[in-house]
Structure formats: structure tokens, C-alpha cells
């Protein structure tokens, strides 16, 4: 089974406001994405799963558009480290996103530990004078536990920064050991993000770099699924499909020049290229 995850970040912001959304007005954005992809994805039933991680405001529309028995797994972008529970806290989590709240809205998956989430948490901790680098992983572990306890699957992102490249094994080992502590690993997919290679002007890694890292992750986790989190695109789909240790990818933007943004038809093309190459 391949895992083709879609992280839609804040791609809902209209282009005229500085964003990349040219698909639909904000209230119809998630509905548009789901309705323009769900039927085409049916041909891959039994071959892949398709979590789509939406900003929270769009979860309800995405769930309604997906309907019953859709291959699309509507997901949210992380959950809070504490949760609602019978006989305990009934929901006093202003501004936060408890896993129970997401589950109640029909969410079945969460992406946790994305490099942008890690950077945000680290920045907050540093403002508070915390220098323990393991603290971020401990917080993420709490989030994973909450999501898993609600029966949600999790895409857990790990990765090293440019200054950590020489110590990448130590960095990834720590992120895995702490982040997965006490977690039902059957519900987890690992996404490897080479943070040092993400962004304009950066050189993306090839199979010679990705394969040994994916192999290391599988060795550390007892063979858990590993997807490439540095961006599954049209121009690297065949290369990633050729790596036996890679079980899928994390898709974000589909177009990087001209009218930059996410486009459903291009998303489906990425999936077609990747899964066709896997079948060869």
C-alpha cells in the first residue's frame, strides 16, 4: 500500500491577498478540491491511500464533499497536546484543536511534526528560555498520542536542518524515539523531510541520498512506512517510485512557476506518474 499525502497548508488564501488560491472562493475551496479529485482516485482503490490535510476551517466542507466510502481521508494539520475526555476536561481549549473535536467533525487523519510546526514550537520555547531540543519531540509525542487515541492515522514528519546534516542519524533517531514513544505504530506513517533542501534555490536530494535515509528510518522503526516529505512532484515522481524503501510522498504545491499554486488536475497527474512508475 502506498501513502500519497497532501498537505494543503494555507493554500486557501486568495492570490489578490498574497496567497496562491485561484481555484475558488474561500468557502468553496475544500469542496472544489475534493469534488475534482475523488472520482479520479477510485481507480487506485486497494493500491494507495489519500489523506488530505486541510486547514481547520475547511474540514467540514471537505468531509461533506467526500461523502461515504471515499478514498479521500480528510485530515487536519496537527492536534492539541491535550484532549477532551468524558469526566475530565469537556472542551476548555480556546484557540486549540483537540483531537476529539476533529474526530467529531469527521476527520480521520492528522499530519504532526511538519517542519513548519516544529519551527513554530521551537520558536515559542526559545522565547520562554527553553533550550532543551528534545522538548519539541516530547510535545509532538503528546499530539500523536491524542490523535491515535481517537482512532486517527498520523503522518509523523521528521527531518534534519542544514546545520544538522553531519549528525542526521542522531537527529532522526531522537525524533523517532521520543516522538513514537508509547504510540500504536500501526496508525503511523513516517514522512522524511530534508529541511536543508526545502525552499527556493535549494537543491533537492536524489535517490542516492534519500534511499539510505529511508532505509535507516525503517531499521529504527521496525519497518514502518516511509514517505518522502520533501515534496512529491511531477519531476521527481518516477525517481521516488524507483526507491524500494520509499512508500509514497507528501504533495503540497503542484506548480512552481507562473501562477504558482495547487491545482487538482496536476495533483492527479503526480499520482498517475508515481503509481504508474511503481507498477513497472
Examine the residue annotation and report whether 58 is marked as an active-site residue of this protein: no
Q: Residue 263, exposed/middle/buried by CB under 10 A (0-12, 13-18, 19+)?
A: middle
Closest by CA to 151, choosing from 113, 190, 99, 114, is 99
Beta bridge partners of 156: 112, 190
Examine the residue annotation and report whether 3 is marked as an active-site residue of this protein: no
- Please say whether the beta carbons of 137 and 170 come within 8 A: no
Cell for 82?
Answer: 491535550
- Helix (H) and strand (E) counts for the chain? 10, 8
- Please say whether the beta carbons of 35 and 52 come within 8 A: no
| Half-sphere exposure (Cβ direction) of 192: Cα atoms closer than 13 Å | 29
Q: What contacts 63, CB < 8 A, 6 or more positions away?
A: 74, 105, 106, 107
Catalytic residue among 73, 117, 143, 193: 193
Cell for 138?
Answer: 516530547
Question: How far is it, in rounded angstroms, from Cα 63 to Cα 214?
Answer: 32
Q: What is the number of other CB atoms lying within 10 angstroms of the CB of residue 255?
A: 14
Catalytic residue among 3, 114, 117, 160: 114
Q: What contacts 260, CB < 8 A, 6 or more positions away?
A: 20, 253
Question: How far is it, in rounded angstroms, from Cα 153 to Cα 187?
Answer: 5
Active site amino acids: 114, 193
Amino acid at each position: 500500500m502506498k501513502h500519497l499525502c497532501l498537505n494543503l497548508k494555507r493554500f486557501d488564501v486568495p492570490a489578490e491577498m498574497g496567497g496562491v488560491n485561484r481555484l475558488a472562493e474561500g468557502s468553496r475551496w475544500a469542496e472544489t478540491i475534493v469534488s475534482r479529485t475523488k472520482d479520479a482516485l477510485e481507480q487506485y482503490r486497494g493500491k494507495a491511500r489519500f489523506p488530505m490535510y486541510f486547514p481547520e476551517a475547511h474540514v467540514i466542507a471537505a468531509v461533506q464533499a467526500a461523502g461515504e466510502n471515499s478514498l479521500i481521508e480528510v485530515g487536519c494539520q496537527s492536534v492539541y497536546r491535550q484532549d477532551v475526555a468524558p469526566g475530565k476536561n469537556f472542551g476548555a481549549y480556546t484557540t486549540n484543536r483537540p483531537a476529539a473535536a476533529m474526530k467529531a467533525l469527521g476527520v480521520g487523519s492528522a499530519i504532526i511534526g511538519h517542519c513548519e510546526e516544529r519551527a513554530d514550537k521551537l520558536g515559542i520555547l526559545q522565547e520562554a528560555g527553553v533550550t532543551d531540543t528534545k522538548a519539541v519531540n516530547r510535545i509532538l509525542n503528546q499530539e500523536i498520542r491524542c490523535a491515535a487515541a481517537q482512532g486517527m492515522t498520523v503522518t509523523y514528519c521528521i527531518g534534519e536542518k542544514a546545520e544538522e546534516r553531519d549528525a542526521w542519524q542522531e537527529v532522526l533517531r531522537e525524533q523517532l524515539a521520543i516522538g513514537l514513544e508509547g504510540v500504536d505504530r500501526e496508525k503511523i506513517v513516517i514522512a522524511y523531510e530534508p529541511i536543508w533542501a526545502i525552499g527556493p534555490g535549494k537543491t533537492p536530494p536524489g535517490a542516492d541520498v534519500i534511499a539510505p535515509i529511508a532505509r535507516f528510518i525503517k531499521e529504527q522503526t521496525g519497518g514502518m512506512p516511509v514517505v518522502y516529505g520533501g515534496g512529491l512532484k511531477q519531476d521527481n515522481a518516477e525517481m521516488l517510485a524507483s526507491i524500494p524503501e520509499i512508500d509514497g510522498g507528501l504533495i503540497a504545491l503542484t506548480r512552481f512557476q507562473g501562477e504558482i499554486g495547487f491545482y487538482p488536475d496536476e495533483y492527479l497527474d503526480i499520482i498517475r506518474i508515481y503509481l504508474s512508475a511503481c507498477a513497472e
